[in-house]
Amino acid sequence: MAAAVLSPMCSSVSADATAFMNLWVPASLRLRLIVLIGLVLVLILALGSVLVYWHAVHEVEVEMHAAIAVGEHTINNAVDDVEEAATPLRHLELLVADFDGDRHLQVSLLGRDDRILYKSTPLAPTDPAPEAFYRLLAGRPVAARIQLPSPFDQYGTMLLRCDPRNEISEVWGDVTLTLAILGSFCALNAVLVFWVTGHALRPLDAVSAAFNGIGAGNYGYRVREQGPRELAQLCRGFNQMTGQLAEIDDRRHRLEHQLAAVQEEERLDLARDLHDEIGPLLFAVSVDLSVIQQDQAVRGTPLAPRIESIRDSITRIHKDVKAILGRLRPATLVDLGLAQAAENLVIFWQTRYPRITFDLRADTEGFGTQIDDAIYHLIQESLSNALRHGQPTRVEIRVTREDDEVLTEISDNGIGFKPNGHVPGYGLIGMQERVKSLGGAFSIKSPSAGTGVVVSVRIPFPVATKAESGARLQEAMRQ
């Protein structure tokens, strides 16, 4: 039964604690410090109030018992001198009147039937405390009854009652002064903590804003090296980091330009090789064929040397074309297969863009040389375009086979492009032509501005005979 009752209570407390932590975790460091120090100051104020209250109660109690003791002593001394009491009742009346204006005591003469015959009037407080404060400190009333000796005993007894109002009013002044000083101290500390933490933690705001700028790709941020020594060191280390990042980014841009220049130079070299090596050989073949045609009219002219010359030229052309193809075709695709080559390509870019998440899912089996080559170049060109222009944080690559089609999709969450303003470059145009030559469908789109780019390709999967013929053609070109 107890467990059943405690379970909802524990769940409620846990839910409240969880809600508090959810609100507390995202709070700023300055707010946390202010709240914690404020709680400490409130605790000090509360503890000080309790101590002041305890001291005030003790002081009033001690003062009241002391007043009772003094009153008893005074009355006993007054009634001990019986010879001077010619009229005992008058003597008692004057004795009660002597206590008029007393700050703490009210003295009453009670008859044998406990009826009040005479009573004194205590001094009224000039600055009375609030009634709530009086009830808080008054406690139990302190009183004493004094039995009178003969011949006064025939008139009754003396009753002493403490009136703590004057003492409580005096304590009220002390308490208000003490609490005012303690409250002023706590308020002054709170103001100082608010100002000091705001001034000391101000560099963190600048560092936080600078980190946001760096996250957006701007490495030109610098922060002032100010504040306490630890924060100044943090700012100094941040500036050194941003300087190194800017240098690395500048070096990366220079390497990209150099790579583009090397690629352009390689293309020029290939063009020169085609012009200088293949062109003359093809011209030689054309000349030999012309000579053969002319010699056909002359009977008896041997054709074997001309045919051997043509065969030699064709062999040299084949070797040169094979060398050029070796320079153009990535060896990883030929040696490792499509999946491993695509993974190596992702690793290549991952090392250069460690902040970007790459997600590659490709069938381990290839789809034939032509399709694998087309898909590899599609992934290569799409990754290059996305990382160069899109500023993505995530790139996904999917290569799957569905029935008689090979589906390839490369998507990123970069800045995308405007559908009406997009002009495809030569790389994408080449991909479109390559996919079209295989009977496939090519599409590139950006769902909306700022939501990335999706490149999709569908290529019909060829029958076995076509794949085998393509493999035989590839093997023949290697020989």
Q: CATH number for the domain including 381?
A: 3.30.565.10
Total domains present in the chain: 2
Residue 235 domain flag: no
Cβ contact 72:95 at 8 Å: no
Kindly state whether residue 397 falls inside one of the protein's structural domains: yes
Q: How many residues does the chain have?
A: 479
Say if 216 falls within a structural domain.
no
- Work out the pLDDT band at 469, boundaries 50, 70, 90: very low
**228, part of any domain:** no
User: 394 or 131: whose pLDDT is higher?
Assistant: 394
Query: Does residue 285 have a pLDDT over 70?
Result: no
Averaged pLDDT score across all residues of the chain? 75
Segment 412-431 shows an average pLDDT of: 68
pLDDT at 393 over 60: yes
Most confident of 56-60, 311-315, 378-382, 424-428: 378-382
Percent of the chain topping pLDDT 70 = 73
pLDDT (0 to 100) of residue 14? 52
Final residue of a domain: which of 132, 161, 195? 195
Domain-terminating residue out of 195, 216, 236: 195
Q: What is the pLDDT of residue 422?
A: 52
What is the reported pLDDT for 479?
Answer: 45
In a domain, 365, yes or no: yes
**In terms of C-beta distances under 8 Å and separation of at least 24 residues, what long-range contacts does 338-346 make, across chains too?**
338/362, 338/366, 338/367, 338/372, 338/375, 338/376, 338/399, 339/363, 339/364, 339/365, 339/366, 339/399, 341/376, 342/375, 342/376, 342/379, 342/397, 342/399, 345/376, 345/379, 345/380, 345/383, 346/383, 346/397
Q: What is the pLDDT of residue 286?
A: 64
| Listed residues 195, 215, 234: the one ending a domain | 195
Q: Are 226 and 206 in contact (CB under 8 A)?
A: no
Rounded mean pLDDT, 437-450: 81
Instruction: Identify whether 316 is part of a domain.
Output: no
pLDDT at 457: 92
Instruction: Output the pLDDT for position 141.
Output: 79
Question: What average pLDDT does the segment 5-24 reach?
Answer: 49
Q: Residue 287: pLDDT above 70?
A: no
Whether 392 shows a pLDDT value over 80: the answer reads yes
pLDDT exceeds 80 at position 181: yes
Question: What pLDDT sits at residue 272?
Answer: 67
- pLDDT(361) > 50: yes
- Is pLDDT at 421 greater than 60 in this prediction? no
Beta bridge partners of 443: 456
Domain range for 36 is 27-195
Q: What is the pTM of this model?
A: 0.39
The pLDDT value given to residue 13:
46
Q: How many other C-beta atoms are found inside a 10 Å radius of the C-beta of residue 72?
A: 16
Q: Higher-confidence residue: 384 or 219?
A: 384
> In this structure, is residue 18 part of a structural domain?
no
Examine residue 71 and state whether it is found in any structural domain, yes or no: yes
The pLDDT assigned to 27 comes to 55
Residue 282 has what pLDDT? 66
Q: With bands split at pLDDT 50, 70 and 90, how would you rate the model's confidence at 138?
A: confident
> What are 190-198's contacts with CB under 8 Å, separation 24+?
190/34, 190/37, 190/38, 190/41, 193/33, 193/34, 193/37, 193/38, 194/34, 197/30, 197/33, 197/34, 198/30
Q: Tell me which residue of 342, 346, 344, 338 sits closest to 368, measured CA to CA.
A: 338
What is d(CA 359, CA 392) in angstroms, rounded to the nearest whole number?
A: 13
